[in-house]
Structure 1
Amino acid sequence: MRGRDDEWTDLMRSANAGDGAAYHRLLKSVTPVLRAGARQGLARAGQSPDQAEDIVQDILLAVHLKRQTWDANAPFAPWLFAIARNKLIDALRKRGRRIFVDIDDFSETLASEPPAEPLPSVDIASHLDDLTPRQRDVLQSIAVENASIRQTAEKLSMTEGNVRVTLHRGLASLAAKLREE
């Protein structure tokens, strides 16, 4: 490891001094190490390693853009690996925590559940009548007429925030009434 770090440090010094061939050799030498590290980091985070190449490209771009900030008196590898770690963390944050589940594992369970029966329209209308006029208008506009929050706000001369609050309260009221029955 120490020999490789010394080699990388010498190549980076030469590259920063203007030696294009040394820069090319450096990038060619670090890329497989970065690729393996990205795959390992993705696997540890429970992510698919197929996105490792994108992370490697981000790392190499950052190295290229920031190479003049590297201290030529310091070893190169710790600087490189700090960039790599930060780019991996950025990629994982951007991706969020996602768990992929094969839907085929649940196909029998999903198929066996009977579809929920909708309430008869007469019942819905009677429940809407129990709401305040403003709640009824908002629910009618959004749920029945399929209007957006913005369209409903314009139509009813309300702010979008007020429409959201009224919609939430109306739905909560309907849910409470349906639970009673």
Structure 2
Amino acid sequence: MHNSLREKEWATWLRAAIAGDGVAYQRFLQAVTPFLRAMARRRCESFGAPASEAEDVVQEVLLAIHLKRGTWDPARPLGPWLSTIVRNKMIDTMRRRGRLVAVPIEDVIETLEADEQADDLDHLDVERLLARLKDPQRDIVQSISVRGTSIRDTASRLNMSEGAVRVALHRALKTLAALYRSDNS
């Protein structure tokens, strides 16, 4: 598939996901993850970071996409938005390690080439990490992040306020990120 066609398809799915379509959100995440992984590997290589950092960056990017998906302007191309998130998360990773990072302006806009290999272990990793969360956090993450159910519907189903669901989701995602980092360090 041509890159611009793929980007349009991803943008269509993300627009639908923002509107509350959980199936579209799942399609978007499954399609974009190999692209993000390839981009993170290239960034690690260009910054002189160990290749092992790439997967941590991908997880941080996926969390950022989830939390900030409402900031994407649907009238603008999706590729530069994703590239910027990857670049920023890579810089954050390098800063945590105490390295000086210089990012050439040419690296801001990446082409949408991705390794088409899907990692079957991703699903197992997600399930293993989710199993370590306590209810209702696990239920909230599965409902909103995995199935794409809206916060309103999740709150209604769990007899919680929308604010409480947002707080629980935020805390659960922070916990998942910490668990993932501790498992991979």
Distance 1:69 1:76 in 2: 11
Matching residue within 40, 50, 63 for 1:61: 63
Distance 2:99 2:75 in 1: 39
Distance 2:13 2:84 in 1: 18
Aligned pair count reads 98
**Is the contact made by 1:9 and 1:77 (CA closer than 8 Å) also made in structure 2?**
no
Amino acid of the structure 1 residue aligned with 2:94:
L
Q: Which runs of 4+ in 1 moved over 6 A?
A: none
Could you tell me which residue of structure 2 aligns to residue 142 of structure 1? none
1:94 Cα offset (Å):
1.2
Distance 1:48 1:54 in 2: 11
Identical pairs, percent: 52
**Is the contact made by 1:39 and 1:52 (CA closer than 8 Å) also made in structure 2?**
yes
| TM-score after normalising by structure 1 | 0.51
Counting only pairs closer than 5 Å after superposition, residues 1-181 of structure 1 correspond to structure 2 as: 1-97=3-99
Amino acid of the structure 2 residue aligned with 1:44:
S
Distance 1:16 1:28 in 2: 16
Unaligned runs of 5+ in 2: 101-185
Amino acid of the structure 1 residue aligned with 2:92:
D
Amino acid of the structure 2 residue aligned with 1:71:
D
RMSD: 1.5
Amino acid of the structure 2 residue aligned with 1:46:
G
Distance 1:90 1:20 in 2: 29
1:97 Cα offset (Å):
3.6
SS in 2 for 1:49: coil
Distance 1:62 1:90 in 2: 12
Unaligned runs of 5+ in 1: 99-181
Deviation readout 1:143-170 (Å, 9 max, x if unpaired): xxxxxxxxxxxxxxxxxxxxxxxxxxxx
| TM-score after normalising by structure 2 | 0.50
**Is the contact made by 1:11 and 1:22 (CA closer than 8 Å) also made in structure 2?**
yes
1:96 Cα offset (Å):
2.5
**Is the contact made by 1:8 and 1:77 (CA closer than 8 Å) also made in structure 2?**
no
Higher normalized contact order (CA 8 Å, seq sep 6+, divided by chain length): 2
